[in-house]
């Protein structure tokens, strides 16, 4: 076997090793990103459920506890834009905030505007910055009724 055959074989082996390593790296990176997205989606769903439960009965202690846990969990999991909208929403809906009477149309409108912005940021966080998923997203409000 001459030296050129050894060099060609070595280059082929090196190229195969590099290709396999890069493939593994990018596959693992993609898996981790999908797992992060799945976890965020789970936290966002639990938060929306807690919001809904409080909207149905805001005197239910378990619902209030779940909502508090939801707010606090999102501080850890959500990106900075979501946390910013989350805090705006929280500051508006907390019981100490009496700037606008709660039973007024103005309060409902502001609540729904802040909720819509929060949900839009959550969606953007889940689906990525490059996607314009909120282009035709409507204004939202909480729905439900006590059983």
pLDDT in tens, the chain (147 residues): 688 889 999 999 999 999 999 999 999 999 999 999 999 999 999 999 999 999 888 888 999 999 999 999 999 999 999 999 999 999 998 877 778 888 899 999 999 999 999 999 999 999 987 778 998 999 999 876 655
Q: Is 105 part of any domain?
A: yes
Q: Is 47 part of any domain?
A: yes
Q: Is 122 part of any domain?
A: yes
DSSP state of 10: H
Please check whether residue 39 is in contact with residue 52, taking contact to mean a CB–CB distance below 8 angstroms: no
Could you list the beta-strand ranges (E) of 1-128: none
Find the helix or strand (DSSP H, E) in which 26 lies.
helix 3-56
Q: Is 68 part of any domain?
A: yes
Domain that holds residue 93: 36-127
Count: domains in the chain = 1
Q: Is 61 part of any domain?
A: yes
Q: How many other CB atoms are there within 10 angstroms of residue 6's CB atom?
A: 10
The confidence score (pLDDT) of residue 75 equals 94
Count Cα neighbours of 31 within 13 Å in the Cβ-side half-sphere. 6
Greatest C-alpha distance within the chain: 90
Q: How many other CB atoms are there within 10 angstroms of residue 44's CB atom?
A: 22
Q: Is 70 part of any domain?
A: yes
d(CA 51, CA 34) in angstroms, rounded, equals: 25
Q: Tens digits of per-residue pLDDT, 13-34?
A: 999 999 999 999 999 999 999 9
- Give percent above pLDDT 70 in the chain: 97
């Amino acid at each position: 076997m001459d030296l050129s055959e050894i060099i060609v074989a070595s280059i082929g082996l090196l190229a195969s090793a590099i290709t396999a390593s890069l493939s593994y790296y990018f596959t693992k990176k993609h898996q981790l990103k999908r797992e992060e997205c799945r976890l965020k989606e789970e936290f966002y769903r639990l938060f929306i459920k807690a919001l809904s439960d409080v909207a149905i009965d805001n005197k239910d202690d378990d619902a209030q506890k779940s909502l508090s846990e939801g707010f606090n969990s999102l501080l850890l999991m959500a990106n900075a834009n979501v946390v910013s909208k989350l805090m705006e929403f929280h500051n508006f809906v907390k019981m100490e905030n009496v700037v606008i009477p709660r039973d007024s149309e103005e309060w409902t409108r502001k609540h729904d505007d802040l909720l819509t912005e929060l949900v839009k940021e959550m969606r953007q966080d889940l689906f990525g910055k490059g996607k314009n998923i909120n282009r035709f997203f409507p204004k939202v409000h909480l729905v439900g009724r006590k059983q």
